[in-house]
Amino acid sequence: MTRTDKPILVFQSDFTYAEGAVSSMYGVVKSVDRELEIFDGTHMIPRFDIWSASYRLYQSMPFWPKGTIYVSVVDPGVGTSRRACVARTHDGHVIVTPDNGSLTHVLQRIGIDEVREIDERVNRYPFTRGTSVFAGRDVFGYTAARLASGIIDWEEVGPAYPVNQIVTYRIPSPSVAGQQAHGIIEICDPNFGNAWSNMEWRMLAQIGLDFGSTAHVRIAHQDDTVFDQDVPLARSFGHVPKGTPVLYCNEVMNASLALSQGDLCRTYGIGFGVDWTIELASR
């Protein structure tokens, strides 16, 4: 294969750039094949946060060319019996990752056609066999490089296992009841502090909401309300005064809440996950 025929490699992890872990992964890739292209997704996922790893895959992977190999390493169970796997998605991407919940959003929102357990007898970096704590370098990065370079084909990754055995989190489905829409805060934007729900923007029309209207927004953590206000719907943040909460359609076409030129999640103490619920009602 020529360079342009070989899949792009995109890496995400919770390693940060504070030490040499990312560099070591990329060094192994280049040791396998100097021609392979490597790009960063993010290495700033919160430590051990598998849910965020799952969401960030779903958020960015579809915008890469078909055939791209995404390597996702958030692996608090490294060195244990959790599976190391390679999954092929319904839209033609490949994900190399621990099977620990990191495939949840892609499986539910995009679909996975096949998954294989990495055979570490052959698909493991041979020069570091004394350690079991850096699978990102020794298993995931190495296997992704061998697959991208054509050294191994899909079947040589390892044995296939049923897609329904993939480890997943429970994600409650959003719903509409009467004049209210219900969902969860699925993720927080770590830089701008926006709260992203799992409610598709089109659901808001079902309760009479559109740009220019006002919604009553209630966000709760379990039974404790942390945000309870009327909020305007706008196309972007600059349509409301600085410091004003605003409902908008985010980059994955879901309803999201921001504080214009502020940090909504920090200001109101908002987190994310199945215990963080959001309720919208038309005014």
Q: What is the pTM of this model?
A: 0.94
Mean of the pLDDT values across residues 212-227? 97
Tell whether the model's pLDDT for residue 4 goes beyond 80: no
For the segment 164-203, what is each residue's pLDDT rounded down to a tens digit?
999 999 999 999 999 999 999 999 999 999 999 999 999 9
Same domain, 151 and 208: no
Tell whether the model's pLDDT for residue 13 goes beyond 60: yes
Same domain, 54 and 85: yes
Mean of the pLDDT values across residues 212-225? 96
For the segment 38-55, what is each residue's pLDDT rounded down to a tens digit?
999 999 999 999 999 999
Tell whether the model's pLDDT for residue 237 goes beyond 60: yes
Q: Residue 166 has what pLDDT? A: 98
Tell whether the model's pLDDT for residue 208 goes beyond 60: yes
Mean predicted lDDT score pLDDT of the chain: 97
For the segment 82-98, what is each residue's pLDDT rounded down to a tens digit?
999 999 999 999 999 99
Determine the Cα–Cα distance for residues 280 and 180; give it in Å rounded to an integer. Answer: 5
Where residue 73 sits, what CATH number does that domain have? 3.40.50.10790
Q: Residue 2 has what pLDDT? A: 60
For the segment 148-174, what is each residue's pLDDT rounded down to a tens digit?
999 999 999 999 999 999 999 999 999
- Within-domain flag for 148: yes
**Which of 135, 165, 195 is the C-terminal boundary of a domain?**
165
For residue 3, what pLDDT band results from cuts at 50, 70 and 90?
low
Same domain, 27 and 134: yes
Same domain, 60 and 117: yes
Q: Which domain holds residue 11?
A: 3-165
In terms of Cα–Cα distance, which of 211, 202, 217 is closest to 233?
A: 211
